[in-house]
């Protein structure tokens, strides 16, 4: 164990989804970063889109924290590193504070993390205080920093909210309703928020909210008060070392563009820590497959770019040749979709070709077809991760296994069958999104012959 360092930490939570957690977390990160602070932000739960806004605001990549997918030791290691090398750590919660078998409250309790309650006040007045009181008192022992009102209509509205608060629960300020924007400054679509780099004014949107936050009590708090009120010390667990990196010398090609954007920075870091060199390429830009020992096609939005993908005949031939040469391919969710022959989207009356490397048809639906924490039982043990998709896939490729519902970091529901694991030769593909660090041997095997 290394000697822990005290660092201000805030876990930003809410009574439900849609309250503005991402917007407030990004605005706070932007505000602190603009004042010269080194800000590290994490996102609770599996998520590829919220972190794009948090990274834009903080200037650093954003890792995910989930007690089942990542595991306690992995989270503790990442938090300890972050508190040692940053001025402040912010953690955006997931859903409501107490929602889920492994809630944001559970994580806060494990490391005594201060919790900032963000509540959408747009449709209430005095009830704000009652809701804040209930969240703060529901589970004794949590370290509640205070509450922040989001989408406040006026100064008079702000005074009503402040007057409703219990004496022992501070209102740390408010974010005013943003003029000239829709209800949420960050727009959404299927699968979640629109990514930050898809909007030309993404930075300006966050800066506008940060300007409002700067006028609040939280925004005007002296820096020494941050350390006094919300300092956290976290021991770093001993690092696990392999005698030799599992992917030493391997060249791994990774598709990365608007169609293949669902990539955990922690997974890239894992590949590099295991000795691999990562070589990005853009299928949408017409890039050729880089010279490589293994190929990773991550998730994303291939359904929004089917026409452009269908034009990449050279790349399709190169991927097929890579496969026939028995070189590893891991196609994950959107990566699997892109390999199929055809996309069908009934709601849009659309039928479109895809890369066509694998015989199969993808159908896009208007409702979720897969959602939840899960794990794949490999010869090396459980590889943990999650699933989240609106499409279904019909293919003749053999099914060699299924993921199971993840109960905690060590066990699954053996009676469940979630996502198919398809495999033929050196190609493996699934709707399953893997968290590589959860099982280094199993993750490395995806890129080894």
What mean pLDDT is predicted for residues 66-89?
A: 96
Distance CA 12, CA 21 (A): 7
The predicted-structure confidence for 410-429, as pLDDT tens digits, reads as follows 999 999 999 999 999 999 99
pLDDT score at 2:
64
Beta strands in 327-380 (DSSP E): 329-332, 342-345, 350-353, 360-364, 370-378
* Number of separate domains in the chain: 2
* pLDDT above 90 (res 433): yes
Distance CA 374, CA 405 (A): 4
Both 147 and 212 in a single domain? yes
* pLDDT above 60 (res 191): no
CA torsion, ordered 415, 417, 421, 422, to nearest 10 deg: 120
Both 180 and 257 in a single domain? no
Domain that residue 149 falls in: 7-232
pLDDT score at 179:
62
Is residue 245 included in any domain, yes or no? no
The predicted-structure confidence for 299-335, as pLDDT tens digits, reads as follows 999 999 999 999 999 999 999 999 999 999 999 999 9
Name the band, by pLDDT with cuts 50, 70 and 90, for residue 354.
very high
242's CB contacts (< 8 A; 6+ apart) are 274, 440
Distance CA 393, CA 211 (A): 46
State the alpha helices, DSSP H only, in 252-369: 265-273, 306-310, 313-324, 334-339
* pLDDT above 60 (res 129): yes
In whole angstroms, what separates CA 24 from the centre of its chain?
A: 16
pLDDT score at 241:
61
Instruction: Tell which wins on pLDDT, 43 or 204.
Output: 43
Q: CB atoms < 10 A from the CB of 348, how many?
A: 11
Is residue 158 included in any domain, yes or no? yes
24's CB contacts (< 8 A; 6+ apart) are 12, 118, 148, 150, 175, 209, 213
What mean pLDDT is predicted for residues 138-144?
A: 97
pLDDT score at 242:
58
Both 328 and 401 in a single domain? yes
**Tokens standing for 273?**
């820590």
Distance CA 316, CA 437 (A): 30
Percent of the chain with pLDDT over 70: 95
Both 298 and 359 in a single domain? yes
Is residue 40 included in any domain, yes or no? yes
At which of 198, 232, 266 does a domain end?
232
Both 354 and 426 in a single domain? yes
At which of 232, 262, 292 does a domain end?
232
Cα 136 to Cα 82, 98, 140, 147, 169, distances in angstroms: 26, 11, 8, 9, 8
Residue 342: strand pairing partners: 353, 361
Q: CB atoms < 10 A from the CB of 33, how many?
A: 19
pLDDT score at 194:
76
Cα 164 to Cα 120, 133, 159, distances in angstroms: 15, 10, 9
Both 177 and 316 in a single domain? no
Both 175 and 270 in a single domain? no
* CATH code of the domain covering residue 73: 3.40.50.300
Instruction: Say if residues 412 and 406 touch (Cβ distance below 8 Å).
Output: yes
Both 304 and 270 in a single domain? yes
Least confident of 130-139, 177-186, 368-377, 378-387: 177-186
Instruction: Tell which wins on pLDDT, 242 or 8.
Output: 8
Give the residue numbers annotated as catalytic, written as ranges. Answer: 333
3-state secondary structure at position 143: coil
**Tokens standing for 226?**
């941050």
Is residue 145 included in any domain, yes or no? yes
Is residue 91 included in any domain, yes or no? yes
What mean pLDDT is predicted for residues 260-268?
A: 97
- Provide the whole-model pTM: 0.93
DSSP element (H, E) containing 198: none
Both 209 and 266 in a single domain? no
Residue 362 DSSP label: E
At which of 200, 232, 264 does a domain end?
232
Name the band, by pLDDT with cuts 50, 70 and 90, for residue 184.
low
Strand 411-413 to 399-408 pairing: antiparallel
Is residue 324 included in any domain, yes or no? yes
pLDDT score at 160:
96
Both 206 and 289 in a single domain? no
What mean pLDDT is predicted for residues 420-443?
A: 98
Is residue 26 included in any domain, yes or no? yes
pLDDT score at 178:
72
pLDDT score at 1:
56
* CATH code of the domain covering residue 404: 3.40.50.880
Mean pLDDT of the chain: 93
* pLDDT above 60 (res 130): yes
Name the band, by pLDDT with cuts 50, 70 and 90, for residue 144.
very high
Distance CA 64, CA 339 (A): 27
pLDDT score at 199:
74
Is residue 243 included in any domain, yes or no? no
**Tokens standing for 136?**
């703060």
Distance CA 266, CA 437 (A): 8
pLDDT score at 103:
96
């Amino acid at each position: 164990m290394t000697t822990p360092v005290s660092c201000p930490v805030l876990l930003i939570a809410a009574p439900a989804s849609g309250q503005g957690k991402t917007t407030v977390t990004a605005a706070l990160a932007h505000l602190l970063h603009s004042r010269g602070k080194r800000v590290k932000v994490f996102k609770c739960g599996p998520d590829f889109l919220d972190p794009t806004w948090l990274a834009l605001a903080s200037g650093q990549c954003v890792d995910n924290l989930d007690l089942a997918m990542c595991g306690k030791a992995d989270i503790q290691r990442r938090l300890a590193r972050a508190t040692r090398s940053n001025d402040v750590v912010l953690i955006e919660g997931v859903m409501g504070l107490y929602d889920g078998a492994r809630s944001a409250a559970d994580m806060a309790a494990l490391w005594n993390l201060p919790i900032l309650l963000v509540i959408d006040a747009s449709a209430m007045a005095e009830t704000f205080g009652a809701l804040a009181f209930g969240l703060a008192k529901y589970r004794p022992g949590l370290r509640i920093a205070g509450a922040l009102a989001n989408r406040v209509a006026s100064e008079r509205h702000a005074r009503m909210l402040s007057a409703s608060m219990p004496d022992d629960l501070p209102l740390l300020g408010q974010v005013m309703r943003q003029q000239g924007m829709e209800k949420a400054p960050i727009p959404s679509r299927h699968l979640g928020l629109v990514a930050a780099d898809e909007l030309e004014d993404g930075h300006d949107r966050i800066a506008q909210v940060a300007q409002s936050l700067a006028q609040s009590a939280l925004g005007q708090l002296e820096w020494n008060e941050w350390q006094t009120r919300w300092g956290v010390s976290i021991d770093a667990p001993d690092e696990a070392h392999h005698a030799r990196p599992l992917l030493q010398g391997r060249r791994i090609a990774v598709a990365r563009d608007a169609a293949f954007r669902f990539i955990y920075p922690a997974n890239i870091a894992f590949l590099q820590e295991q000795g691999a060199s990562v070589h990005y390429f853009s299928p949408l830009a017409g890039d050729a497959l880089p010279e490589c020992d293994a190929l990773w096609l991550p998730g994303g939005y291939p359904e929004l770019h089917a026409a452009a993908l269908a034009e990449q005949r050279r790349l399709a031939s190169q991927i097929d040749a890579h496969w026939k040469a028995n070189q590893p391919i891991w196609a994950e969710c959107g990566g699997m979709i892109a390999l199929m022959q055809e996309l069908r989207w009934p709601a849009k009356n659309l039928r479109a070709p895809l890369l066509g490397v694998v015989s199969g048809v993808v159908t896009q639906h208007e409702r979720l077809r897969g959602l939840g924490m899960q794990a794949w039982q490999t010869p090396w043990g459980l590889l943990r991760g999650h699933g989240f998709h609106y499409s279904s896939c019909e293919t003749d490729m053999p099914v060699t296994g299924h993921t199971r519902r993840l109960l905690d970091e060590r066990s699954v529901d053996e009676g469940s069958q979630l996502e198919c694991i398809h495999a033929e030769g050196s190609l493996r593909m699934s709707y399953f999104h893997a968290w590589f660090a959860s099982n280094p041997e199993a993750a490395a095997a995806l890129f080894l012959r």
